[in-house]
Amino acid sequence: MLTRLTGGTIYDPANGVDGEVRDLYVRDGRIVAPPLDGETIAHEQDLSGQVVMAGAIDIHTHIGGGKMTLARMLLPEDHADHTVPRTRTTRSGSGYIVPSTFATGYRYAEMGYTACFEPAMLPSNARQSHMEMADTPIVDKGAYVMLGSDDFLLRLMAEQAEQAIINDYVAWTLESAQALAIKVVNPGGISAFKFNRRALDLDEAHPYYPNVTPRAVVEVLTRAVHELGVPHPLHVHGCNLGVPGNVATTLKTMDAAGGLPLHLTHVQFHSYGTEGDRGFSSGAARIAEALNAHPNLSIDVGQLMFGQTVTASGDTMAQYRNRKSAHPKKWVCMDIECDAGCGIVPFRYKHKGFVNALQWAIGLELFLLVRDPWRVFLTTDHPNGAPFATYPHLIRLLMDRGFRNERLASIHPDAAALSTLGSIDREYSLYEIAVLTRAAPAQSLGLADRGHLGVGAAADITIYKPQRNRERMFERPEYVFKDGRLVARKGKIVKVTTGTTHVIRPEYDRGIEGRLRDYMARYQTVGIDNFPVGDQEIVGEGRGTLSIVPTERRA
C-alpha cells in the first residue's frame, strides 16, 4: 500500500534538504520514490505548514542493564505507575527519572524519537541487557559493550600481545555480546579500584599491571575499533569524571587517539578547570577549540539540567566520590563481575548551587562553541545529567538566545559571572537540530537507512507543528511514524510496535577462542560456550528484528 505525505517542510541534512516543501512516499515501512504514472496512492495525508524530520536518535542513553535495574530498585516510587502508554499529555519537564522499560519506549516515541542506544553494556551482563531492551517498545535499540577494565584485555596488554590478537578479542566481544560499538569507562580505573586505588590519571600505571596505563588502553582500543572497521569510533568515558582540572586529562585523551577517530562521551563532566577563588571553572572553550581543530574527534555533551535525577555509572571511582551528595540519602556502590563496577547515586541539581549552575553553563557553552553540528550530539547522559524527557527544554535553550539568557540570569550569580554563555550569540537552526539529533548520530553509528528521509530509508518520520516556543514544539509532535506506522499523535501513543536491534560483527581469527576457553575455565563461572548471546534471544516472540551493520576492515 502506497502512502503519500504531502506539503510538509522537510529538514533532511543527510540529503542536503534544508526547509524545502516536498512530498514523501511510504510503502511497506520504507520511503520510496514517487510513483509512476497511473500507480494508485492508497492513502494521502496533508502536512502543509508542518515541519518534517526523520525520527530522532539518542546516541547515548542508559535504558538497560544492571545499572538501570538497580536504579529502578533504588527509586521505585519514580517508575511504578509508568508502564502503560500515556492517556493524557504532560509537559516534558515533569518527566520521568528512571522509567520502566515499557515507559522508556513510550516516552521516547511521544517525543519523536525512534532509536536509542545503551552505551554501557557489560559483556558478562549482555543477556540481561538485551532482555530489558527487548522489553522497550517501539524504538530501535543497540548497545555498546564495555572493555578497558576487563581482566583478559589487561592481561593481553601486560604481556604485550600483538595488536592483531587484541583486535580478535575486541571482535569476539562485539559478536558474543551482540553489540554495536565499544565503550571504555575510566580506562583501567575500574580495575584499579579493585586494588584499592581511588584515582588513576591518564598516564599513571595500573597497580597490578604496571605496564598498563589508561592512555595505553585508549590507544589499543581506538586502533582495534578502527582496524576492525566498526563505524562508531571508540566511545570514551575518560578518567577523572567530575574532578576540577580534568579538562587537561580530556585534552590529553584526545591526543591519545593519534589522529584516528575517537568519540568522547558526556564531555560536560570532563570539561572543568580550577581557575577562580572556588577552584572550579569552565574548560569548555579549550575543549571546543581542540574539537574544532581535529576532525577525527566527536563528542556528546551530557548536558546537566536542573532538578531531581539519579546518576548510574560503571565508573566506581566517580560514584564513590559522589556518594556524599546523594539526594535522597541512599546510594549503591559495588564491585561486580570481573570486569566492572557500579554506582547508583540519586542527585538533585540546583540552579542556585554554584557548582551545578556552572556545570549547566559549561554544557551549553560546548554546544554553542563547537562549530560543526555533525560532531556534537544532543544528550544528557540520561539519567546522569538529566532525564531524557528534558530534551525539548534543552532544544529551546539552544535555539532561543533570549530564553537562554533569561535562564542564565536566574542561576547562581558567581557561576553566571564565570561563564561566557551570555556573550554567545549563536542560535541553532532547525536544520542544525536535525543534524545533531538525526543525521549525525545515524552516520556515526553506521545506520545507513536511519536518520534521513531519502529513498530506501526506514519510514521513521516525525512531524512537528511550528511554534515560537521550541520546547512545546518538540515535546509533543503532531505525528510520529515508526517503520511507516503511526505510533504517536499529539503526545499520545496510538499504536505499540517493536523495533530493530542493531548489532555489528567484524571478521576475526577464531583462534582467540582457544585462549578465552582456558581463561574462562580458570577464572570465570560461565564457560565460553554459554557466554555468547544467540540471535534467538534477541529476535522473535515479540522482540522485534535484528539488523547487522556492515563493517569495512582497515589496515
Per residue in 378-410, pLDDT (tens digit) is: 999 999 999 999 999 999 999 999 999 999 999
Q: pLDDT at position 97, please? A: 87
Residue 316 has pLDDT above 90, yes or no: no
* Percent of the chain's residues with pLDDT above 90: 80
Residue 539 has pLDDT above 90, yes or no: no
Q: pLDDT at position 325, please? A: 85
Rounded Cα–Cα distance for residues 68 and 64 (Å): 6
What's the one-letter identity of residue 224?
A: A
Q: pLDDT at position 85, please? A: 61
Q: In what order do the strands lie in the sheet with 340-349?
A: 307-313, 340-349, 332-336
Q: Could you report the per-residue pLDDT of 22-38, keeping only the tens digit for each?
A: 999 999 999 999 998 77
CA distances from 119 to 30, 170, 287 (A): 27, 16, 22
Kindly report the pTM of this predicted structure.
0.95
Rounded Cα–Cα distance for residues 366 and 375 (Å): 11
Residue 129 has pLDDT above 90, yes or no: yes
47 vs 328, more confident: 47
Residue 226 has pLDDT above 50, yes or no: yes
Residue 214 has pLDDT above 70, yes or no: yes
Q: Which domains, and CATH codes, for the chain?
A: 53-493 (3.20.20)
Give the residue-averaged pLDDT of 225-239: 97
Q: pLDDT at position 337, please? A: 52
Q: pLDDT at position 79, please? A: 58
Cβ-count burial 533-550 (b if 16+ within 10 Å, e if not):
beeebbbeeebbeebebe
Q: pLDDT at position 441, please? A: 98
5 pairs with which residues across the strands?
24, 45
CA neighbor of 345 nearest in space, from 323, 377, 321, 316:
323
Q: Which of 213-217, 360-364, 525-529 has the lowest mean pLDDT?
A: 525-529
Q: pLDDT at position 78, please? A: 67
CA neighbor of 234 nearest in space, from 212, 209, 217:
217
Q: How confident is the model at residue 210 (pLDDT cuts 50, 70, 90)?
A: confident
Residue 117 has pLDDT above 80, yes or no: yes
Residue 548 has pLDDT above 90, yes or no: yes
Q: pLDDT at position 88, please? A: 41
Rounded Cα–Cα distance for residues 206 and 214 (Å): 8
By the 10 Å C-beta count (0-12 exposed, 13-18 middle, 19+ buried), 144 is classed as buried
Residue 47 has pLDDT above 70, yes or no: yes
CA neighbor of 172 nearest in space, from 233, 123, 229:
123
Q: Could you report the per-residue pLDDT of 139-159, keeping only the tens digit for each?
A: 999 999 999 999 999 999 999
Residue 466 has pLDDT above 70, yes or no: yes
Q: pLDDT at position 93, please? A: 39
CA distances from 195 to 13, 190, 209, 434 (A): 48, 9, 11, 45
CB-CB contact of 273 with 283 (8 Å): yes
Residue 284 has pLDDT above 50, yes or no: yes
Cβ-Cβ contacts under 8 Å for 305 (sequence gap 6 or more): 349, 360, 380, 385, 386, 390, 393, 394
Q: pLDDT at position 320, please? A: 78
Helix (H) or strand (E) holding 118: strand 118-121
Q: How confident is the model at residue 209 (pLDDT cuts 50, 70, 90)?
A: very high
Residue 287 has pLDDT above 90, yes or no: yes
Q: pLDDT at position 336, please? A: 66
Q: pLDDT at position 331, please? A: 87
Q: pLDDT at position 87, please? A: 42
176 vs 94, more confident: 176
Strands 332-336 and 340-349: antiparallel
CB-CB contact of 260 with 296 (8 Å): yes
Rounded to 10 degrees, the C-alpha dihedral 224/227/228/230 comes to 90
Q: How confident is the model at residue 458 (pLDDT cuts 50, 70, 90)?
A: very high
Residue 89 has pLDDT above 60, yes or no: no
Residue 318 has pLDDT above 80, yes or no: no
CB-CB contact of 165 with 525 (8 Å): no
Handedness of CA 402, 403, 406, 411 (dihedral sign): negative
The residue to which cell 532561543 is assigned: 400
Q: How confident is the model at residue 94 (pLDDT cuts 50, 70, 90)?
A: very low
Rounded Cα–Cα distance for residues 139 and 449 (Å): 15
104 vs 342, more confident: 104
Give the residue-averaged pLDDT of 305-321: 85
